[in-house]
Structure 1
Amino acid sequence: MPHPEALSGTAWRGTVLAGLGVLTFSMSFPATAFAMRGFDPYLVAVGRASVAAAAALVFLLATRAPLLPPRRLLGSYLLIVAGVVIGFPLFSGLALDAGASASHAAVVIGLLPAATAACAAVRGGERPRPLFWATCALGAAAITAFTLSRGGGHVTGADLLLVGALVSAAVGYTEGGRLAREIPGSRVISHALVVAAPLTVPVTVALALATESRPDAVSVAGFAYVGLFSMFLGFIPWYAGLAAGGIARAGQTQLAQPLLTLVWAWLLMGERFGPVTVVAAVAVLACVAASQRARS
């Protein structure tokens, strides 16, 4: 049986690795907004996966790893593809295109840690305490109040798209964290991108030919970031952290992501957000933190 100190050290390592992933992901919304200044939203959503697939292929060849995952794990990889390779980029990009600001999107996605923990509970067969679900419900109520206040009393189409992004990411994170317990996180995301490539690459080419692009330095930099960092490099420490520290525990590092995104949106995009946004972000953080403690 592993020594308790060894277990504690592994958990701490998982938290640090997951934190690196969160730091990378926190720039995703501003970078996506920059990319869409010069490229079609659908092209950004799908094209980022093609850019990441090229990087993943280079990585697999350089490390002499198998180019395809074991057939027995194909179902899990398809869930990762549906969740974080296609679902989250598509839904979040369309939400930004539909009018959601990067700061608004960050607050709504603030429920992602709780959603990921809930998915981990379902997939792992765990039975969270009633307090866990109560705090999740409070967090959902805070998000609903925020979206209604920003949407003139009703939920907007952009908000529904962000919910789709939330669910997609939770599924992809959970499945990737599970696989990373037996396979290195770098290989998990690389194989997921390669599995998706027969779909993402042809669609990217078709969209590039069919849509109008007005690339400049800012939009190209944004596109490059979401392709190389948000879609590939960030997942390497993220999945490794979930595997080492536990999906629910290490996933708590995402508590910092909404606030980090608000800072990036302010520094890079000049977005201004009032006290309602800040209060909503803090309320979500409090509810999610309570849900993680309740779950343990």
Structure 2
Amino acid sequence: MPTTPNRTSRRALAAAAATVVLWASAFVSIRSAGAAYSPGALALGRLLAGSLVLGTVLLIRREGLPPRAAWRGIGISGLLWFGAYMVVLNWGEQEVDAGTAAMVVNIGPILIALLGAKVLGETLPPRLLAGMAVSFAGAIAVGLSMSGGSGGGHASVLGVVLCLLAAMAYAGGVVSQKPALAHGSALQVTTFGCLVGTVACLPFAGRLVEEAGRAPLSATLNMVYLGVFPTALAFTTWAYALARTTAGRMGATTYAVPALVVLLAWLFLGELPGPLTLAGGALCLAGVAVSRSRPRAAVTAAAPAGSAGHETGRRRETV
């Protein structure tokens, strides 16, 4: 039975949700593994684990090499997102608490929307801009609540600058990846992007071997977890969803990450969220809901009664 547009949209939404949850968990795992591994070694170990899983799945599915037209986007996103982003974020999280890191890195969706409009010619619908504004306010509230009070957080100028650089690399990687997905599958683009990042991080191989020899098992398991789930699985589900919507809308979806970081930090790190933190998390989620919504008139026009097969381009743009 052929896949309907509605079913495709639901699958893409589920893929985006899985990505958000797994990326939120990465903040907790990076903090844990970062106590035993340096930023570059942690990035390389994570990428090696991710490349192994992705490469195995790619071979099983026999998807082969992506088309030549996809390689430019794969190469740039691999260097920026899989390489630079992971190293700089690991370093940044050694200098600032998870709340501050989530707040600063969540400048990324704004940069993605602006770059997407400039480079990819994507539109900036009013609801997307409004949702981003609401979510950004929530991210600021989360970061301020966790960095300034009961959570025991701390911030440094270096850490904030590093997280800002991570946000820029993240945005550049997403916008570079989007055109590649027009030519290659989500699995192909993710696998070879991960391999590019792995090669870029090979200079840290010596540190990885040295630190793995003395690291506690829990830190190494966290590093492997980062490679298998927030990297191999989450980057693939991200690419699947990104291929079916705009970069700006996908970027706005990740504003839910700070809210989930608060919940995970509470469950696994014992950081009890305060009222401001909870309010900020609620704003993050509300902003995502606004940015993903469409005017009622647009929904009606996109799917007139009795003509589900007449799908407009605008409907295909939504996840």
Looking at structure 2, the residues matched to 237 and 146 of structure 1 have their Cα atoms a distance apart, in angstroms, of: 26
Which stretch shifts more, 223-232 or 272-281?
Answer: 272-281
Which whole-Å deviations, capped at 9, do the CAs of 1:11-65 have from their partners, x for residues lacking one? 2221111111212211101011111122222211232122222323323333333
Q: Larger Rg: 1 or 2?
A: 2
Residues 209 and 142 (structure 1), Cα distance of their counterparts in 2 relative to 1, 3 Å cut: same
Identity among equivalent pairs (%): 24
Gaps of 5+ in 2: 150-154, 296-313, 315-319
The 5 A counterparts of 1:54-133 are 54-67=52-65, 69-100=66-97, 102-128=98-124
AA aligned to 2:11 is: R
1:38 aligned residue: 36
In structure 2, what is the Cα distance between the partners aligned to 1:260 and 1:234? 15
Q: Compare the two structures and name the one with the higher helix fraction.
A: 1
Provide closer, same or farther for how the CA distance between residues 148 and 258 of structure 1 changes in structure 2, counting only shifts above 3 A.
Answer: closer
Q: Which moved more, 1:137-146 or 1:268-277?
A: 137-146
CA separation of 1:199 and 1:83: change in aligned 2, threshold 3 A? closer
How far apart in 2 are the matches of 1:145 and 1:14?
29
Work out the CA distance in 1 between the residues paired with 2:17 and 2:213.
34
Residue-by-residue CA offset, 1:220-267 (whole Å, 9 max, x unaligned): 121011111122111111111121244344544323222111111111
Q: How far off is 1:10 after superposition? A: 2.5
Q: Corresponding residue for 2:18?
A: 20
Give the CA deviation at 1:198: 3.1
1:172 aligned onto 2:173: yes
| Corresponding position: 1:227 with 2:223 | no
For the residues of structure 2 that align with 1:190 and 1:175, how far apart are their CA atoms? 15
Contact 2:79–2:196 (Cα < 8 Å) also in 1: no
**AA partner of residue 15 (structure 2):** L
User: Would the alpha carbon gap of residues 265 and 277 (structure 1) be closer, same or farther in structure 2, given more than 3 Å must change?
Assistant: same
For residues 104 and 273 of structure 1, the distance between their equivalents in structure 2, rounded to whole angstroms, comes to: 14
Q: Residues 279, 108 of structure 1: CA spacing in aligned structure 2 closer, same or farther, 3 A cutoff?
A: farther
Within 2, Cα distance between the matches of 1:198 and 1:92?
A: 18
2:141 and 2:279 in contact (8 A); partners too: no
Q: Deviations over 1:60-117 (max 9, x none)?
A: 33333335x44433321122113320122122111111132x2332233344434333
Residue 242 in structure 1 maps to residue 242 in structure 2: yes
Distance 1:8 1:122, change over 3 A: farther
Tell me which residue corresponds to 1:160: 161
Instruction: State the alpha-carbon separation in 2 of the partners of residues 74 and 286 from structure 1.
Output: 37
* CA RMSD, 1 decimal: 3.4
- CA–CA distance in 2 between the matches of 1:144 and 1:157? 18
Q: For 2:232 and 2:125, how far apart are their aligned partners in 1? A: 35
2:302: which partner in 1?
A: none
Q: Compute the displacement of 1:190 (Å).
A: 0.4
- One-letter code of the match for 2:83? I
Give the drift of 1:185.
Answer: 0.8
What letter is aligned with 1:222?
A: N
Distance across 2 between alignment mates of 1:284 and 1:155: 24
Q: Which residue of 1 aligns with 2:304?
A: none
Whether the 8 Å CA contact 1:112–1:254 is kept in 2: the answer is no
Q: CA deviation at 1:138?
A: 7.5
Whether 1:49 and 2:47 are equivalent positions in the alignment is yes
1:293, distance to aligned residue in structure 2 (A): 6.0
Q: Which has the higher contact order (CA 8 A, sep 6+)?
A: 1
Match for residue 216 of structure 2? 216
d(CA) in 1 for partners of 2:168, 2:106: 12
Indicate the SS of the match to 2:122.
coil
Q: Which runs of 5+ in 1 are unaligned?
A: none
Q: Which is further off, 177-186 or 81-90? A: 177-186
Judged with a 3 Å threshold, the aligned counterparts in structure 2 of structure 1 residues 73 and 250 are, in CA distance, closer, same or farther, namely closer
Report the 3-state secondary structure (helix = DSSP H, G, I; strand = E; otherwise coil) of the residue aligned with 1:244: coil
Q: What residue is the counterpart of 1:29 in the other structure? A: 27
Cα distance in 2 between the residues matched to 1:244 and 1:131: 19
